[in-house]
Amino acid sequence: MLKEIRHSKILQLIKDNKTISTKKIAKELKSPEVTIRKDLAYLEKLGKINRIHGGASIIEKSMISELTMQEKKVKNIELKKKIAKNALSLIKKNDYIFLDSGSTTLEISELILKHIDFQMTVFTNSIEILSKLSLKNNIDLYVIGNHLRKKTGAFVFSDYDDDITEKMILSKSFIGANAFDSNFAYTPTSEEAKIKNKMIEISQTPILIADSTKTNTISLWKISEIQKFKMIITDEKTELIKELEEDGLKIII
């Protein structure tokens, strides 16, 4: 059996059983236990499984809860500044962009305030970004959403407001996420998931901005399939990021 096929079958066995012994895997795949042990060591190195005494177990993804904006601002600040710097380099004259509500996009807005003097248009659902960029005469500024979530400072759609975006096309959208894995990006609330998903749909280049601490974690609501993003800006090439890059997703670090 080819090594790649064997690895795939091992992962499926672990997923199906949650915890499984090396002996049982060897029996199922008709392979020597010494070979299976080497396979498990390799898969653990890739971050795909946990090795335990005599076998392996599935990696349980941690569930990320919602933080307030003040809590977000002080968490992993240097990683967010690095991501924001790379995001700024993508913004061009006369762009129409969406800046999501979040601490990383707030860092992007800070750099826009300091370094961008050309004409552009910014749509945002963040009360803090709205306040900050209102100081820039070269930026046309629009708010998306008509209900303010005070916990995160994010405007979201009410039931009658989301059709306002139906005729819009944006150059780029910078979308934050509380968590992401190989399948989806996630956020803790349905209201913010809805507005993020809509901005992805109407953007020519939807961009996920998320630091490496958010990889292979989940939260309550799916924002979008990960492959709907044209690129991910992050701070480190984790095993998940390598996997997504191999699948054809553009990665900026």
Does 84 share its domain with 157? yes
Does 142 share its domain with 47? no
CATH number for 222: 3.40.50.1360
How many domains are contained in the chain?
Answer: 2
Residues paired with 20 in a beta bridge? 56
Does 83 share its domain with 200? yes
**191-210: per-residue pLDDT in tens?**
899 999 999 999 999 999 99
Kindly list the distances between the CA atom of residue 34 and the CA atoms of 14, 19, 25, 177, in Å, as whole numbers in the listed order: 17, 19, 11, 41
CATH number for 41: 1.10.10
Does 37 share its domain with 152? no
Does 83 share its domain with 31? no
Does 129 share its domain with 162? yes
Average pLDDT over residues 134-156: 85
The share of the chain scoring above pLDDT 90, in percent, equals: 59
Average pLDDT over residues 229-252: 93
Does 135 share its domain with 218? yes
The verdict on residue 143 lying in a domain is yes
Enter the pTM of the model: 0.74
The verdict on residue 64 lying in a domain is no
Residue 167: pLDDT band (50, 70, 90) is confident
Does 29 share its domain with 51? yes
DSSP one-letter string for 28-93: HHT--HHHHHHHHHHHHHTTSEEEETTEEEEPPPPBPPP--HHHHHTSSHHHHHHHHHHHHTT--T
Does 83 share its domain with 185? yes
- Is the pLDDT assigned to residue 70 strictly greater than 70? no
**93-102: per-residue pLDDT in tens?**
999 999 999 9
Report the half-sphere exposure of 217 (CA within 13 A, side-chain side). Answer: 17
The verdict on residue 213 lying in a domain is yes
Does 158 share its domain with 210? yes
**216-229: per-residue pLDDT in tens?**
888 889 999 999 99
Does 82 share its domain with 138? yes
- Is the pLDDT assigned to residue 150 strictly greater than 70? yes
What is the torsion angle, in degrees rounded to the nearest 10, for the CA atoms of residue 102, residue 108, residue 113 and residue 119? -110
Residues spanned by the domain of 239:
69-252
| Residue where a domain terminates, one of 18, 36, 58 | 58
| pLDDT (0 to 100) of residue 243 | 87
| pLDDT (0 to 100) of residue 65 | 57
Of 70-74, 97-101, 159-163, 206-210, the poorest mean pLDDT is in 159-163
Does 83 share its domain with 170? yes
